[in-house]
Amino acid sequence: MHNSKKITDKLIRMTKSIKSIFYLIIFSGTIISSCNYNNSKKVEKSCAFSKAIDSTYIVGEKSETIGNFGDCKLIDFQNEVYIVANLNNELNVRKINDSSSSFKVTNPIVSSSWLDVIEDKGSILCVTASIEDKSLRLYKIDPQSLNVSLLSTVLQYDEQLLIDPTILKVEDKYLITYTQIKGNINNGDTLKQNGHYEVVLVESNDLINWKEVSSIVSEDTNIEDGFLYFEAEENSLFFLYEEEVFDYKKSAIKIKKSTDRGVNWDEPITLLNAIADQEPAAIFKCNEKNYLFYSSDLDDHGASYYGAKGYVSSFSNSNYTPDQINVSLKLDYGVLLFDVMLNNNKMHFLAKKMRKDDTSAIVHYTFE
């Protein structure tokens, strides 16, 4: 009888302990859920791109290099920021975080008029369009030694001109776009007929053999500053571009979407109407919004690059409904914005500063 009472008491104590543990788990779970919820709100509020919209960022470093610069891009290579630039129509590379570094030409020298870059397997892949060589070529760059090797000639051309190449890797596929122009190039004369602009998408599995996938845009208007990117959540390709009837005149910024890896493309959506000369640099998705970065002569109509400033606009994610439009960035006056990148929660901006004496400078800014 005594033993059975002891057993009963033990069972009661065990039951109370189990209940206590159960309530503790529930309470802890509530705390954890609450913490997760609060953290998610903090993440949403701390989106770096929203700082650009709210103008709550702090301008960090700014460096300026004078020279005969053409197209330039930023790249995050092994968590270090580099600039790959066309300087005197030749490929040059500069490491940002090294204050003693300067732009250095590659070995061998590569002729380049327009370019784009990605990191791939410990190297920089650089696609270049060259007026001098009349070619679209793909190179592999070692940013430490600056040694360059030619991987493939994607296209050789005679009559038309190729501009604004882009490169992207999606899973095991490499994608390149280029804009080919037949007829009048960058026509700014309202009395002349425009040339025909076509943006072509090609793909490869081995970086050597390339096949055409589709024509993304085909218009008798100036199509420039293409930006190809992939959204994993939507499993879709996007192509951002500028469309203007006449060069250095008012232009629209548009975007097209493909849900079948570039075979077919939806009708374009106009993000910014043609109210100024507008040059897209990059677009990012963050917290269910799209942030578009661009330069525009909005405050000095008709001045084009020489009167342009940097801007950001935000759009809802699903249908690109405008949210906040034409928010001015703290960049210099008279700039052509080339590229925008996020590295270690810092925004990096790369722009060409225009000068009336036909000289120019590449300016690199950081925002925190």
**pLDDT tens profile 42-78:** 334 358 888 888 888 888 889 999 999 999 999 999 9
| Average model confidence (pLDDT) across the chain | 86
What is the predicted pLDDT for the residue at 25? 34
Lowest mean pLDDT among 75-89, 90-104, 156-170: 90-104
What is the predicted pLDDT for the residue at 9? 45
What is the predicted pLDDT for the residue at 46? 54
Residue 2 has pLDDT above 90, yes or no: no
**Average pLDDT over every residue of 151-159:** 94
| Global pTM value | 0.86
Query: What residues contact 284, with CB distance under 8 A and at least 6 apart?
Result: 49, 290, 291, 293, 340, 342
**Average pLDDT over every residue of 354-368:** 87
Residue 82 has pLDDT above 90, yes or no: yes
What is the predicted pLDDT for the residue at 194? 86
Q: Label residue 356 by pLDDT band (50, 70, 90).
A: confident
**Average pLDDT over every residue of 167-192:** 90
What is the predicted pLDDT for the residue at 353? 95
Q: Label residue 294 by pLDDT band (50, 70, 90).
A: very high
Task: Please report, rounded to a whole number, the percentage of residues in the chain having pLDDT higher than 70.
Answer: 87
What is the predicted pLDDT for the residue at 287? 86
What is the predicted pLDDT for the residue at 212? 98
Q: Label residue 264 by pLDDT band (50, 70, 90).
A: very high
The CATH code of the domain at 56-367 is 2.120.10.10
Residue 28 has pLDDT above 70, yes or no: no
Residue 292 has pLDDT above 70, yes or no: yes
**Average pLDDT over every residue of 259-265:** 98
What is the predicted pLDDT for the residue at 357? 74
What is the predicted pLDDT for the residue at 18? 39
Residue 104 has pLDDT above 80, yes or no: yes
